[in-house]
Structure 1
Amino acid sequence: MTEEKAEAIKTMKSSGLTTMDTYSYMATEAGGEQNVGHNVVNHLNFCSRLRIEKIEAGDAQTLVNILNQEQPEDPNFFFKVKFDNEGRISNIFWRDSMMLEHYRIYGDVLVFDTTYKTNRYNLICAPFVGINNHWHNCMFACAFIGDEKT
């Protein structure tokens, strides 16, 4: 991806466009997806890296800002964040309206399984997962936990 395209994507994302809207715009301007110069997977990966960089730059506050932006778009979106004494995130929990609906329909059995500190922030990933009527996993909520205390 060229530096000019990367800057254009950053500008569009900062203006509030979604990742796929930015790709669609670039494809339209280039005269088709084949002329963009990168594929949709590269585009998605670049935008993911932008979001990670944004979170790393102001870590906790940026994450809270992103979560706050979701609430007006999804009235059932819920999150709770706890910070430690140094202002770092120690625990975070969230769920959106689709997760809530899946829980209401398929919440008879809930699996709570953690991975032990395998992410860059050294937090325990704790997804709340169930099985739908097609025997596929569906996520009910997710959390990152700083320690294993109650």
Structure 2
Amino acid sequence: MGEIDKGIPQVGMRFRNVDEAWVFWVAYGGRAGFDVRKRNKFDGEVTSCRFVCSNEGLRKKGITLDHVPKRIRAETRTNCKARMTITLDRVGKNYEVTDIVLEHNHYLQLPQTSHLMASQRKISEVQAFEIEAADDSGIMPKAAHELACRQVGGPLNLGYTCVDQKNHLRSKRQRELAFGQAGSMLKYFYDKIIENPSFQYALQLDCEEHITNIFWADAKMVLDYAHFGDVVTFDTTFGTNKEYRPFGVFLGLNQFRETTIFGDETCDSFTWLFETFLAAHNGKQPRTIYTDQDAAMGKAIGKVFTESYHGLCTFHIMQNVVKHLSP
């Protein structure tokens, strides 16, 4: 397998497995200045794999969205034909390069910036330690990233973006929740149920059975909603807390015009959240629910709260007026 060290893909090169070929293609893309993707073909095992440029193909046309996207993504697909195809050699028990196209139909990254492509960005162990230490000290991710950039002479020298840093922290906390905090949280819920059987909670798991969303409501929340749940407001504070976890709360007003909490949760799936909320309150829907202008939230409300009037929060409307209409 010494052919791998040559650095330029060639027909006839052999790899022990698909992962080895992928590492080679990623490294080649970093040197040449293009980002990479891959496509596999399975027949019980991977029989062939095509590694391509990230600009391969074209964006699908004529797709109608049922909501207005928050951010219009730039067009990056140019139908680039650059690729490397490997095929399983069942006799030799390895993978052979059978097709190569190295020409691109778009501009390539400069050597000075190629390390910032998605396939090339990575956080080293030392950088991970510094990110986690800053987070434990209460420094927000954006401020910690700006400090790291200054320490190395600018963002081009850092090797990862602020989004990568936030993803690292989110992954770390999900692992901690799965192996450490989850047991404590479930014990807390168990104790609350023993204290009052009306306490309710629900968990949503991903495909790997990791906790993704949590909902809970105690007896007082259920009782308050039964009496004062005609008008409800729901809002989330995405990423504004130290733990950088989405947190939302259902609020209403009682007869004394005091704020009443009907339920609280962390969630990415509003549909799951609203259905769980209704289940906790015996299916009773509010007459009116106020939220911000989040498109995903509005879609979930239309699907779940079919008997409710959906209103928008005045504060968020005024914020958008200032943002989009101010000179």
Question: Do the structures match in fold with TM over 0.5?
Answer: yes
Structure richer in helix, relative to its length: 1
- 1:106 is aligned, of 215, 222, 228, to 228
Q: Relative contact order: is structure 1 or structure 2 higher (C-alpha 8 Å, sep ≥ 6)?
A: 1
Seq. identity, %: 29
TM-score (norm 1): 0.55
What pairs with 1:88-127 in structure 2 (closer than 5 Å)? 88-127=210-249
Q: Deviations over 1:6-62 (max 9, x none)?
A: xxxxxxxxxxxxxxxxxxxxxxxxxxxxxxxxxxxxxxxxxxxxxxxxx89811121
Determine the C-alpha separation between the residues in 1 that align with 2:243 and 2:269: 12
* Residue correspondences, number: 96
Runs of 5+ unmatched residues, structure 1:
1-54
Determine the C-alpha separation between the residues in 2 that align with 1:146 and 1:119: 16
Quote how far apart the aligned CAs of 1:88 are.
Answer: 4.4
Matched, 1:83 2:205: yes
Alpha carbons of 1:120 and 1:85: their partners in 2 closer, same or farther (altered >3 Å)? farther
Determine the C-alpha separation between the residues in 2 that align with 1:69 and 1:126: 23
Give the conservation status (yes or no) of the 8 Å contact 1:123–1:147. no
Any idea what SS the aligned residue of 2:244 has? coil
Determine the C-alpha separation between the residues in 1 that align with 2:214 and 2:264: 8
Runs of 5+ unmatched residues, structure 2:
1-176, 271-295, 301-327
Q: Deviations over 1:55-97 (max 9, x none)?
A: 8981112111111111011111000012345664310000011
The residue type equivalent to 1:129 in the other structure is L
Q: Deviations over 1:88-147 (max 9, x none)?
A: 431000001100110011111011111112234432111011011111110001111145
| Matching residue of 1:43 | none
Moved over 4 A (4+): 85-88, 147-150
Give the conservation status (yes or no) of the 8 Å contact 1:113–1:126. yes
| Matching residue of 1:128 | 250
Pair member with larger Rg = 2
| Matching residue of 1:60 | 182
TM-score (norm 2): 0.27
